[in-house]
Amino acid sequence: MTSLPTPTATGSPGDPGASGASGASGASAPPSPHLPAPAFRGARLLGDGIPQLFLVAWALLVILPMAWVLISSLKTNKEIYDSPFGLPATPQFTTYVEAWQTANIGRFFLNTVIVVVCGVFFTLLLSSMAAYVLARYAFPGSRFIYYLFLVGMTFPLFLAIVPLTKVTQNLGLQQTLPGLVIVYVAFSLPFSVFFLTAFFQSLPNELAESAFIDGAGHFRTFFSIMLPLAKPGLISIGVFNFLGQWNQYLLPLVLNTPKDNERSNFLLTQGLADLALRTRYESSSTSLAQMFAGLVIAMIPVLVVYVVFQRRVEEGLTAGALK
């Protein structure tokens, strides 16, 4: 028996069914794979590698000098001159004791701690109160006061040196630690108020309103409810102020001139600079090693604060940016 041929769909060129069938068969064909050009992959790798190389170079620029200072602080004076970049034959930990006692680093360190702790405390107290009022209450002149703080952020420090010198002299605050605390607080307030104002604006108003309904006054609402909620922002701005005030050199240099031969009123930055000058112009068997030991002592609080509060600072910055 002869089998009949299988019928196929045919149509005229104008038949839409035929053209649709042919179009569908053409559309169902899988697309040919397209691989990215090797040059594009190389450019992408180059774009990712350049920022990483920059970060590595930046890390080396920061870490290598710190490591060199640390190694030099464990050497003798002769080893520092004979082999500046070599390792010490025997680590001299007594250099830190000599720097703390003989070079008066201990006294400078204590003065710096007193000034910075008091400065940061009063900066946080005053700036948080001012920022809370500016963020929560609208009164005539509130925007003017806010912009006045912003102008204070743009005022160059060196332009205020001469007026500050005259004011501290007239008030009897020159060559005193309280005078430095007052000046530190004054120069830290503008940025602190600006930062905390934005942070208080991000806090919900319902909490303060509930406290008022329960009979709490303004001071109790601020210190018992709103200020604890602003803890991330306070930690962030406190760390910023600590680092800035700890490393401050120009203001102590001008306002805190030596009042005796022992320089008992010097801060750590002043003492290290004075020790470096005496190392260059005076012959001493341990003065250069003491200077490096003093630098390490000055770096330790900054590193500790950064390591301990790094995550809290990031949380404070993020919380203040989101509302």
Model confidence at 319, in pLDDT bands (50, 70, 90)?
low
Q: Using CA atoms, how far apart are residues 145 and 132, in angstroms rounded to an integer?
A: 13
Model confidence at 196, in pLDDT bands (50, 70, 90)?
very high
Coil, strand or helix at 16:
helix
Residue linked to tokens 């709103």: 226
Q: Using CA atoms, how far apart are residues 57 and 310, in angstroms rounded to an integer?
A: 22
Q: Is the pLDDT of residue 303 over 80?
A: yes
Q: Using CA atoms, how far apart are residues 44 and 105, in angstroms rounded to an integer?
A: 52
Of 11-15, 33-37, 275-279, give the range with the top mean pLDDT. 275-279
Query: What is the distance, to the nearest Å, from the Cα of residue 136 to the centroid of all Cα atoms in its chain?
Result: 27
Query: What is the identity of the amino acid at 72?
Result: S
Please give the mean pLDDT across all residues of the chain: 82
Q: Using CA atoms, how far apart are residues 94 and 101, in angstroms rounded to an integer?
A: 11
Provide the domain count of the chain.
1
Q: What is the pLDDT of residue 22?
A: 45
Those residues whose C-beta lies under 8 Å from the C-beta of residue 306, and which sit 6 or more positions away, are 239, 243
202 is a domain residue: yes
Provide mean pLDDT across the span 194-220.
86
Q: Using CA atoms, how far apart are residues 76 and 91, in angstroms rounded to an integer?
A: 9
Q: What is the pLDDT of residue 25?
A: 45
CB 115 within 8 A of CB 173: no
For the domain that residue 147 is a member of, what is the CATH number?
1.10.3720.10
Distances (CA, A) of 297 to 76, 227, 265: 17, 34, 18
Model confidence at 262, in pLDDT bands (50, 70, 90)?
confident
28 is a domain residue: no
pLDDT digits (tens, 9 = 90+) for 264-283: 889 999 988 888 887 765 55
246 is a domain residue: yes
45 is a domain residue: no
Model confidence at 9, in pLDDT bands (50, 70, 90)?
very low
The residue ranking higher by pLDDT, 49 or 225, is 225
242 is a domain residue: yes
Provide mean pLDDT across the span 111-122.
96
148 is a domain residue: yes
174 is a domain residue: yes
Residue linked to tokens 């332009």: 159
pLDDT digits (tens, 9 = 90+) for 125-174: 999 999 999 998 888 888 999 999 998 888 888 888 999 999 999 999 99
Domain that holds residue 179: 111-283
Q: What is the pLDDT of residue 43?
A: 61
Q: Is the pLDDT of residue 94 over 70?
A: yes
Q: What is the pLDDT of residue 280?
A: 66
Model confidence at 52, in pLDDT bands (50, 70, 90)?
confident
228 is a domain residue: yes
